[in-house]
Amino acid sequence: MYGLDYLKTIEKNKLVINGLQFEKIKSYIFASIFTAGGLFLVCFIFIRQIANNPSLEDYVVAIIFPSLMIILLFIGNKRLLNRDKLKEFTNYQNKDRAKELIIEAAKNVKWDIIELNPNFIILKTKFNLINSSQAVILIFFPENRLLFNSINWQFDYIKPANFDENYNTLKKEYLKLEKEH
């Protein structure tokens, strides 16, 4: 069974979920194959394009397309390698009050509360008409910081989550409630 390892998360300052080793390894293997294939294709396009008495257009194609492919590979790998990052959600004075506001904000945006722990909250989002949902994890750090992460539900490590969209949705509702109270 999956479970957030709170102590390791605090120690490493990144999300640590027990039971995801296989998912992580699988996604890194996929990224390695994708990167190697992409770099092979970049080299193939470049070499093939400038092989026989190249014109200016050949040089442009040989530089622009491989450059775009390398940028796409970089962006894809960056998203994969940053999945465990934690983003500052808020600083709180009263942990119980912050927890109440998070729960109320989650209910207002129609997210389900999956786990309510003294040290963290796990919410399940709902998107669109299809069965697409993600886990939003809020972790209370000892120094009165609340940190945020969002991954695919049920912790599917390969598919990217709507990290920024989830963050902005919950943050907007949280700030609205904070002003009201």
Task: State if pTM tops 0.85.
Answer: no
User: What Cα–Cα distance (Å) separates residue 74 from each residue in 46, 56, 79, 151, 171?
Assistant: 18, 27, 9, 20, 28
Give CA–CA dist 46/65, Å, rounded.
Answer: 9
Section 92-104 average pLDDT: 93
Query: Do 68 and 101 belong together in one domain?
Result: no
Query: Do 90 and 77 belong together in one domain?
Result: no
User: What's the CATH number where 162 sits?
Assistant: 3.30.310.80
pLDDT digits (tens, 9 = 90+) for 130-177: 556 788 889 999 889 999 998 876 656 566 678 888 999 999 999 999
Model pLDDT, residue 34: 85
Torsion angles phi and psi, residue 135, rounded to 5: -95, 125
Query: Do 175 and 125 belong together in one domain?
Result: yes
Torsion angles phi and psi, residue 91, rounded to 5: -100, 140
Amino acid occupying residue 104 = E
Q: Is residue 10 assigned to a domain?
A: no
pLDDT digits (tens, 9 = 90+) for 40-91: 988 888 888 888 888 888 888 888 988 998 998 888 888 777 778 899 999 9
Give CA–CA dist 81/48, Å, rounded.
Answer: 32
Model pLDDT, residue 130: 52
Model pLDDT, residue 159: 66
Give CA–CA dist 66/46, Å, rounded.
Answer: 7
Q: Is residue 141 assigned to a domain?
A: yes
Query: Do 53 and 93 belong together in one domain?
Result: no
Q: Is residue 67 assigned to a domain?
A: yes
**Residue after which a domain boundary falls, among 36, 55, 81:** 81
Query: Do 123 and 54 belong together in one domain?
Result: no
Q: What DSSP character marks residue 86?
A: -
Domain of residue 55, residue span: 21-81
Structural domains of the chain, count: 2
Query: Do 34 and 106 belong together in one domain?
Result: no
Please report which confidence band the pLDDT of residue 30 belongs to, taking 50, 70 and 90 as the band edges: confident
Tokens linked to 95: 């942990």
